[in-house]
């Protein structure tokens, strides 16, 4: 696992009652030809997950508003948000549209205490997808989430992790935190043409600005 830390760094996020959702973005690409790289094609067969957060601990909410849009000016992302949910096999579905991000609608609402999750494809069958450039984000870059009540929440990037899917840093990504935070998740690393998947996940950490 490689880690890039900027600004305040990526904090160790351990707490009682930690989220146990283990999200592995397993379906971010499928080879369109012998040369598979960051612009290789993708398959919409879902993000693998291993269950929800502890149902005995109600998810924090930020009122009735839900996220509808995300903008990341530094890399030109300007996307409506699909609602993402687990399918019957326990996998978190990927956004249907490669050019749109999605938020985990059964998890933490952005702006509430805890780690909210926004995920997106890194590429599509023909071109880079919505999160193709999130690896270029650096500490302090802004992520603006618009809620359904019209309010904007600005998060600042604090760091990122690239991790092998087999070693997904579940505690760092999903453990309870005392403040509103955000994680952007996509696939990365080497593309395995034999399986049609990337070998790594890229997770960007961000914290809500006052």
Q: How far is CA 91 from CA 26, 70, 87, 112, 196, in A?
A: 10, 23, 5, 24, 17
**Inside any domain, residue 60:** no
E-assigned strand segments in the chain: 2-5, 67-72, 77-84, 101-104, 114-119, 142-147, 152-164, 180-192, 197-208
> Could you give the CA distance from residue 167 to residue 170 in angstroms, rounded to a whole number?
9
Structural domain includes residue 58 = no
CB 17 within 8 A of CB 57: yes
CA neighbor of 108 nearest in space, from 25, 179, 35: 179
Query: Does 46 reside within a domain?
Result: yes
Residue 61 lies in a domain: no
In the chain, the number of structural domains is 1
Q: Which domain holds residue 133?
A: 2-10+19-52+66-208
CATH number of the domain encompassing residue 102: 2.40.260.10
Domain assignment of residue 104, yes or no? yes
Report how far residue 117's alpha carbon sits from residue 6's, in angstroms, rounded to the nearest whole number. 20
Residue 166 lies in a domain: yes
CB 141 within 8 A of CB 72: yes
Residue 107 three-state SS: coil
With 0-12 / 13-18 / 19 or more C-beta atoms within 10 angstroms meaning exposed / middle / buried, residue 155 is buried
Full pLDDT tens readout for the chain, 210 residues: 433 333 333 333 333 233 334 444 445 533 332 233 333 333 334 443 333 334 444 444 446 899 999 999 999 999 999 999 877 765 567 899 999 999 999 889 999 999 999 999 998 878 899 999 999 999 999 999 999 999 999 999 999 998 887 777 777 877 889 999 999 998 888 888 877 777 888 899 999 997
Tell me if 59 sits within 8 A of 114, measured CB to CB: yes
């Amino acid at each position: 696992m490689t880690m890039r830390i900027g600004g305040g760094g990526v904090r160790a996020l351990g707490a009682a009652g930690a989220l146990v959702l283990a999200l592995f973005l397993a379906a971010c690409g499928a080879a369109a030809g012998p040369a598979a790289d960051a612009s290789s094609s993708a398959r919409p067969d879902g993000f693998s997950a291993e269950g929800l957060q502890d149902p005995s601990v109600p998810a924090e909410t930020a009122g009735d508003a839900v996220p509808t849009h995300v903008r990341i000016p530094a890399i030109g992302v300007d996307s409506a948000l699909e609602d993402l949910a687990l399918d019957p096999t326990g996998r978190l579905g990927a956004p249907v549209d490669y050019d749109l991000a999605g938020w985990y609608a059964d998890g933490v609402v952005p702006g509430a205490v805890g780690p909210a999750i926004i995920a997106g494809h890194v590429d599509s069958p023909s071109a880079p997808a919505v999160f193709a450039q999130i690896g270029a984000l650096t500490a302090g870059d802004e992520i603006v989430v618009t809620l359904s009540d019209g309010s904007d929440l600005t998060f600042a990037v604090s760091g990122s992790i690239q991790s092998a899917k087999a070693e997904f840093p579940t505690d760092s990504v999903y453990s309870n935190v005392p403040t509103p935070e955000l994680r952007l998740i996509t696939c990365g690393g080497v593309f395995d043409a034999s399986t049609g998947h990337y070998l790594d996940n890229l997770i960007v950490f961000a914290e809500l600005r006052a």
